[in-house]
Amino acid sequence: MNTNKNQNKGFHNKSKGIGMLYDDIFLVNGARTPFGKLCGTLGQVSPTDLGIFASKGALKNSQIKGSDIDQVVFANIGQSSADSYFLPRHIGLFSEIPEGVPAIMVQRICGSGFETIITGAEQITLGKAQVTLSGGTENMTLSPTVSFGNRMGYPLGKIDFKDMLWEALNDTAAVPMGCTAENVAIKHKITKEDTNQFAKESIDKYIAAKERGFFDDEIIKMNSTVFEIEGLTPRKVYLPKKTVDFNTDENVRPTDLEILGKLPSVFARDGVQTAGNSSGIVDGAASVIVADGNYIRNNGLRPLTKIVASSTSALDPRVMGLGPVPAIQLLLEMTGLSMSEIGLIEINEAFAAQFIGCERELGLNRDICNVNGGAIALGHPLAATGARISLTLSREMNARKVKYGIASACIGGGQGTAILFENCNL
């Protein structure tokens, strides 16, 4: 691959998407919280506090100080705390990043965690930063029940409340998210047996990775605490009584094909998607540090990977789960690489049928995909997933001494995002 002619070059095409090639920009390291199950251990922890936990962990794992951060780029999709307007700013301040450093929130639904990394890399490319804190956070348990228009009153007997977690699963311009997976299944003749087999593989891979200690350096330990910064109101975080050093992805449950086969279809009569082969609804946050090469070299750091290129594409929202296909195709076109040169691939497991559809269209080798399990096992906290996947992929690339890896996700509404990483430690 030769990027010398195209360093820091942007790309846009109305039929293929947008993208950029980067020069000398790196993912240093990162951290994430454990992912708590719906109404579980993290159910009462605000997304801001989850983001602070992950960000402080990312700074520690990257061996840099908060004072070296030039910008904070964070994501949160389902705003689920009263102070969520201030979320990226509060994460920066309570992560001991100087008060003069600005913060911004970005949103590309399920691709938002990736978008924080892309935005960080682009800000560095523009000369507006050397180092960024990038990440996403989500508390889906705290997703509110709302009454739109209550300020204007109600007609007699017409009080109307909405469950925002449930409503968020419906693309009102097309079909509910789960139905998009069923559409992919129809298109590619994917059976319920196919989806259940994939789900079992995801869970088994995760359990094997956990047993060998893969996640030990990725997941921080959480305890009840008080985040304090001089001059600011302290943030008090309480975990359930007797919770000490919480570091467990709670959504994961061992299973077998017989159990999965007994679960009913959720989104369509005789459909292929069930609660057992769809991504888990969880709470959690993930953060990474993005930095330019001069900063890396001047500080003697050993980053995990180089951020080579990124792409974002759009497609029919009724098959939104296929979004990684055009995004990855564009990424390969921009970089001149072939799929055979990619040693590891992570595609978010929103739904089993969605992944299998991407697998078939791209001709993927499943043996190098989601090798430590995916969202069907540990869950999909919307804004955090992209950062989590990028960190997991980068760590595994180093463990396996793989040169190139791609991280990608489908996005509600009909989009897909992908990032190409290069192992800089070979």
Distance, CA of 131 to CA of 123 (rounded, Å): 9
Over residues 217-245, the pLDDT tens digits come to 999 999 999 999 999 999 999 999 999 99
Task: Please state the rounded mean pLDDT for residues 75-86.
Answer: 95
CATH topology of domain 4-142+281-423: Peroxisomal Thiolase; Chain A, domain 1 (3.40.47)
Residue 275 scores a pLDDT above 80? yes
Task: Please state the rounded mean pLDDT for residues 375-388.
Answer: 98
pLDDT value of position 150: 87
Distance, CA of 342 to CA of 392 (rounded, Å): 16
Where is 162: in which H helix or E strand?
strand 162-163
Domain residues of the chain, as ranges? 4-142+281-423
Q: Which of 179, 358, 369, 410 is catalytic?
A: 410
Catalytic residue at 179? no
Residue 7 scores a pLDDT above 70? no
Catalytic residue at 110? yes
Q: Which of 110, 179, 358, 424 is catalytic?
A: 110
Task: Please state the rounded mean pLDDT for residues 13-35.
Answer: 97
pLDDT value of position 299: 97
Residue 26 scores a pLDDT above 60? yes
pLDDT value of position 8: 67
What residue type is assigned to position 376 of the chain?
Answer: I
pLDDT value of position 5: 43
Percentage of the chain exceeding pLDDT 70: 98
Percentage of the chain exceeding pLDDT 90: 95
What residue type is assigned to position 339 of the chain?
Answer: M
Structure tokens at 73: 């780029």
Residue 388 scores a pLDDT above 90? yes
Over residues 175-230, the pLDDT tens digits come to 999 999 999 999 999 999 999 999 999 999 999 999 999 999 999 999 999 999 99
- Tell me what the pLDDT averaged over the chain comes to: 96
CA dihedral 181, 186, 189, 195 (to 10 degrees): 30
